[in-house]
């Protein structure tokens, strides 16, 4: 599955990246000037981008807590992004301090910032961040830091939260996911979310095309997928209740706002590997 030509990416300050834009929606902080320009344009087109991102992030936190409650103590977080409030290791270790986490991203800004944070927290014994690409699952699973921190004889929690949209169909996301799934120990859990505009109202549906056109100009073109295609990424896994749901609604204790226009734009689930 691993192509021999994997080349790490340089930081490109001349055009936005998915990691930096997501960070902007969540925090309002732009790493480079182009991020601010792109972000402000995107907010004009899709005014709920920050709400969407916050829902996505709270899904991540609920999924980690759910996995910890199932006894999971080791996590692989692929496409982890720039660190923000409530990172996977912080959420997991608040519940189970012995938890181990390996972060993976192909965006150097995300990798450097995560590395800085983990060093500042003196968390390097039980956490690591590696620069790698979801298109090369074996390089991730066989990386020395993954092998150091993750025991493949025990179940683990795999997080691929809002990352598949940046893998085009040409790179065969289902096959990549199958490769990862096949190498997971049984008893593992997989949490994934995926941008999807197939269930939003007509008004937002038109925006989906515009948003995709904007992302086509960034380092990370965006592919939105419909419910069936997102569900297919969970092939071979048993979905835990409530199945594939809006990320905002998945096992939330908060009241759901039916007028929240961002809800339907992100599908999420947690699957169990028997």
Ligand X SMILES: C[S@@+](CC[C@H](N)C(=O)[O-])C[C@H]1O[C@@H](n2cnc3c(N)ncnc32)[C@H](O)[C@@H]1O
Q: Looking at beta carbons only, is 57 or 273 nearer to ligand X?
A: 57
How many angstroms separate the Cα of 193 from the Cα of each of 4, 53, 142, 185? 29, 11, 24, 21
Strands (E), the chain: 74-78, 100-105, 127-131, 157-161, 189-195, 238-239, 245-246, 266-272
Which of 75, 166, 215, 246 touches ligand X (CB under 6 A)?
A: 166
Residue 256, SS3 per DSSP: coil
Using the contact rule CB under 6 A, the part of the chain among 32-40, 52-60, 116-124, 142-150 near ligand X is: 52-60
d(CA 1, CA 10): 23
Q: Looking at beta carbons only, is 39 or 81 nearer to ligand X?
A: 81
d(CA 112, CA 246): 31
Query: Under a CB-based contact definition with an 8 Å cutoff, are residues 30 and 24 in contact?
Result: yes
# residues near ligand X by CB under 6 A: 23
Which of 31, 134, 211, 269 touches ligand X (CB under 6 A)?
A: 134
Q: Looking at beta carbons only, is 3 or 125 nearer to ligand X?
A: 3
Q: Looking at beta carbons only, is 79 or 157 nearer to ligand X?
A: 79
Position 149 contacts ligand X (CB under 6 A): no
Phi then psi dihedrals of residue 128, to 5 deg: -155, 160
Query: Under a CB-based contact definition with an 8 Å cutoff, are residues 159 and 60 in contact?
Result: yes
Interhelix angle 18-27/108-120, rounded to 10 degrees, is 60
Q: Looking at beta carbons only, is 82 or 149 nearer to ligand X?
A: 82
Which of 30, 49, 56, 245 touches ligand X (CB under 6 A)?
A: 56
Binding to ligand X by CB under 6 A, coded x per residue (else -) over 192-211, reads --------------------
Which of 35, 115, 133, 229 touches ligand X (CB under 6 A)?
A: 133
Near ligand X in 71-110, by CB under 6 A: 78-81, 105-107, 110
Position 18 contacts ligand X (CB under 6 A): yes
């Amino acid at each position: 599955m691993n192509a021999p030509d994997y080349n790490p990416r340089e930081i490109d300050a001349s055009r936005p990246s998915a990691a930096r834009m997501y960070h902007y929606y969540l925090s309002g902080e732009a790493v480079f000037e182009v991020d601010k320009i792109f972000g402000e344009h995107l907010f004009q087109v899709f005014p709920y981008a920050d709400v969407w991102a916050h829902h996505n992030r709270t899904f991540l936190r609920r999924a980690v807590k759910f996995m910890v409650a199932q006894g999971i103590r080791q996590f692989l977080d692929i496409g982890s992004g720039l660190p923000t409030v409530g990172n996977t290791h912080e959420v997991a270790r608040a519940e189970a301090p012995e938890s181990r986490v390996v972060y993976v991203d192909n965006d150097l800004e995300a990798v450097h910032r995560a590395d800085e944070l983990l060093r500042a927290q003196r968390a390097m014994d039980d956490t690591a961040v590696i620069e790698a690409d979801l298109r090369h699952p074996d390089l991730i699973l066989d990386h020395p830091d993954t092998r150091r921190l993750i025991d493949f004889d025990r179940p683990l929690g795999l997080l691929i939260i809002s990352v598949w949209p940046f893998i085009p169909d040409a790179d065969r996301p289902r096959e990549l996911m199958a490769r990862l799934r096949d190498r997971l120990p049984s008893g593992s859990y997989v949490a994934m979310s995926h941008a999807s505009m197939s269930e939003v109202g007509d008004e937002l549906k038109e925006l989906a095309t515009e948003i995709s056109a904007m992302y086509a100009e960034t380092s990370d073109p965006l592919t939105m997928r419909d419910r069936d295609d997102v569900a297919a990424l969970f092939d071979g896994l048993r979905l835990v209740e409530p199945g594939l749901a809006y990320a905002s609604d998945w096992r939330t204790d908060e009241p759901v706002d039916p007028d929240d226009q961002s809800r339907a734009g992100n599908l999420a689930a947690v699957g169990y590997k028997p």
